[in-house]
A and B are shown apart, each in its own frame.
Chain A
């Protein structure tokens, strides 16, 4: 009986991995996070209007792969989105949204301080560094927590719909 069960197990896996992975519309973790990043922009008020481009910045390691490319050229507040990959603290001045991990959040806490930049991370430790939006990865969903007081201290605020959907709210 056991042997048959193991066989079934292997068969199940083999048939699984053998299935062509060519379906057009998949929702992988980072595709969903990219879509959320873009959607957040519509529920957030920044203190000053956007100038030429709405800059979404990824600092350090880019876990999104190509998932963010589709955001280039889409519009937020009538302004086209530009995805940027800054490498130094000086380059982040023009960012509207800044995606980073805990280590970088800590490192950038001084240069970012006071600037109206929405910080976002998917590193659970970033919540403790007062990053404003932190993704919570669940086995089957992506949720997000909002640190409203950290955002308000630089003049950024969230609309009610986004606050209502947040996993945790501080």
Chain B
């Protein structure tokens, strides 16, 4: 570990040196703006962090970030290119206080110290263009290659940490991720992109986008991805001669095909996507036979949405959406001897809508009122090894109201609440109150109180088989949060922010064993209290260098005393990018420090990762990106869930990617 630390500190020292030395080394100042074309101007990078960023997720409408009733973070398409992000996972883990755990089966998101193995991200709401993308059987959210969108189609990702139920209802428990897609004009023609990565990985994408003269816009894109994976993965827990000495051979492959389309004309947008993933599992989870080549999972997601957004009368804006979603899952699990392959499947389908009206009739007030409805046409799950299927049909609705009241030019008070009803016996009302004080031109303070809930999903509520029983008393999870956020500009080019928060949670669901009948059952756990602090700094230099640094401290423990597993006390992140020649070429370097985490039976050590990417355009039509990930080959592991015999799962070492893009 000492080596890793030293290595890491050397990297940090390098960056600090870059801070001091860089202005001398890269003294090329940008050219005078007055001679630049409109296209050059809209592509000009800012040498100062903007005071306000336009955001759409915190309140379900576009507003200045300084008036948004929450902490929030934005990752742009440019960040994705500069730092060589390969999937949404890379985007998410770059956010302060957010981390991921990969058990080579599913990637779980951790927010502010909460990363509960086996929740399949049901405590985070993942959206695409404001449309819920958690499926309706497990409420899971896929962020790796199972995610509906190719990362190259992302215009920006907005992340709202903390409870979001006051506006989004169920599952917006620890945070809301809204992925906003590019549109036709961002391509303005065709683009072909191909990439090769370590572990025998290939990806190809073809996209076409256009904005027509009448203002209509079209985007079509398709992606194929194939990863062979590491040839061998060693798990000492299975190191016996009959189990291939603990070596899983070529069992971490991952393939997916996805397609996305979007058409907009005036106030109407039609959008749809499909993704199908096929992933091998090397870990022999759920007590399977080790190193069997047939062990794998497949999942498919599809959606279509139709939205209408327009001013319908003086002071009235309507925002309406209709949606349809489909989900299917298939797992082939191998047991024996005698060798038997057990197929487990589940399927979901839903149709729904969201009708929202915004009103600005009252001076200083912006009111929104909305109704969301979802008919879960199908929520089916196989009963393991029985040949039977548990079929469900349910519905849910939510009613929400929010008022943004500008009391004075400097003081804004936002109050909102939402009531949710789920037809299989759950309902919840959740408020959010935010007082925002723009104390000075350079300083903003926000005080936010909010609650959130998560109802048991169909699996948690209804799954039963020979070894699992239903808990009819299973209650919904609830959280209450108080947060203070401060943002201050030290000077025009340096922004610092701090956030202090306290969470109270109760009834977190967990699969346990009833000692009397030895059956597995979901139980509500005792209360949890968490508190933490997030510090961030951003500095930009006039020569084009940009740097962001964050440190997060948090502590989450059961009120009975035990600290949560998979909950790092310390996290730190640093992102630096600098232009080469002109702004068309950039080097992006990021490093992430992750503190130690408790596992089921022990602890995984802290680690530091570094990634380095060079990207740019040779010509207008030919772009390239080359990146090295886990730069100093850090050996690190993520905690494993209850389905694993392993206490933790070792992650990939140093690897690289080369990506070429052709535009015509």
A interface, CB within 8 angstroms of B: 1-2, 4-6, 8-9, 11-13, 15-17, 19, 21, 23-29, 31-32, 35-36, 38-40, 42-43, 70, 74, 102-103, 106, 123-125, 127-130, 136-144, 148, 160-166, 169-170
Contact = CB atoms under 8 A, between A and B. Distances in A.
B636 to A, nearest CB: 14
Contacts of A128: 311, 317, 358, 360
B539 A13 contact: yes
B360 A106 contact: yes
Contacts of A17: 490-491, 494, 539
Interface of B: 5, 9, 12-13, 15-16, 19-20, 23, 29-34, 36-39, 41-54, 61-64, 74, 76, 78-79, 156, 185, 188, 211, 213, 215, 217, 266-267, 310-311, 315, 317, 358, 360, 363-364, 366, 406, 490-494, 496, 535, 537, 539, 541-543, 546-547, 549, 551, 570, 572, 574, 593, 595, 606
Contacts of A127: 62
Given A138-B53, A138-B54, A141-B44, A25 B30 contact: yes
A48 B209 CA distance: 36
The 5 closest A-B pairs by CB, nearest first: A23-B542, A16-B539, A124-B62, A35-B33, A8-B12
B41 A36 contact: yes
Q: Which of A12, A74, A144 has the most CB of B within 10 A?
A: A12
A162 B38 contact: yes
A141 B46 contact: yes
Given A1-B5, A124-B63, A141-B76, 20 more contacts: A6-B551, A8-B12, A15-B16, A17-B494, A26-B542, A27-B46, A29-B48, A35-B36, A36-B38, A39-B37, A124-B54, A130-B311, A137-B54, A137-B64, A139-B74, A140-B45, A140-B76, A143-B42, A165-B185, A169-B211
7 contacts: A12-B549, A12-B574, A27-B44, A38-B34, A40-B38, A138-B53, A138-B54
A27 B45 contact: yes
Nearest to B539: A16
A119 to B, nearest CB: 14
B76 A13 contact: no
A142 B42 contact: yes
A139 B38 contact: no
Given A26-B542, A32-B41, A141-B44, A16 B494 contact: yes
Q: Which of A32, A38, A143, A162 has the most CB of B within 10 A?
A: A32
Given A24-B29, A127-B62, A128-B358, A29 B39 contact: no
Contact of B549 (A9, A129, A137): A9
A137 B65 CA distance: 10
A143 B44 CA distance: 10
Contacts, number: 194
A66 to B, nearest CB: 13
Nearest to A128: B317
B572 A29 contact: no
A84 B13 CA distance: 50
Given A23-B542, A141-B45, A165 B62 contact: no
A123 to B, nearest CB: 7
B332 to A, nearest CB: 43
B5 A32 contact: no
Contacts of A166: 185
Contacts of B23: 19, 23
A13 to B, nearest CB: 5
Given A29-B48, A137-B52, A165 B42 contact: yes
Nearest to B494: A17
A112 to B, nearest CB: 14
Given A124-B62, A137-B54, A144-B42, A23 B215 contact: no
Contacts of B36: 35, 39
Nearest to B9: A4
A104 to B, nearest CB: 12
Contacts of A164: 185, 188, 211
Contacts of B572: 5, 9
Nearest to B541: A19
Contact of A13 (B5, B30, B52, B537): B537
B543 A16 contact: no
Contacts of B539: 12-13, 16-17
Contacts of B543: 23
A23 to B, nearest CB: 4
B44 A170 contact: no
A29 B570 contact: no
Nearest to B570: A2
A11 B165 CA distance: 39
Contacts of B215: 148, 163, 169-170
A166 B366 CA distance: 26
Contacts of A124: 54, 61-64
Contacts of A162: 38
A122 B23 CA distance: 31
A136 B13 CA distance: 36
A47 B159 CA distance: 44
A123 B54 CA distance: 9
Contacts of B20: 15, 19
Contacts of A25: 29-32, 542
A4 to B, nearest CB: 6
Contacts of B549: 9, 12-13
